[in-house]
Amino acid sequence: MARSADDTPLSWSRAGSIRLARAIDAGRPIDTPELVACRYGTSLCRR
In total, how many domains does the chain have?
1
Q: How far apart are CA 47 and CA 42, in angstroms?
A: 11
- 13-31 pLDDT tens trace: 888 899 999 999 988 888 8
pLDDT for 6 beyond 90: no
Give dist(CA 41, CA 47) in Å, integer. 10
pTM higher than the cut 0.85: no
Does a structural domain hold residue 15? no
Residue 17 lies in a domain: no
Q: Distance between CA atoms of 6 and 19, rounded to whole angstroms?
A: 22
Asked, for residue 43, whether it belongs to a domain, the answer is yes
What pLDDT score was predicted for residue 46? 82
Is 8 part of a structural domain of the chain? no
Residue 41 lies in a domain: yes
The domain in which residue 30 lies consists of: 22-47
Residue 39: inside a domain = yes
Q: Where is mean pLDDT largest: 6-10, 33-37, 43-47?
A: 33-37
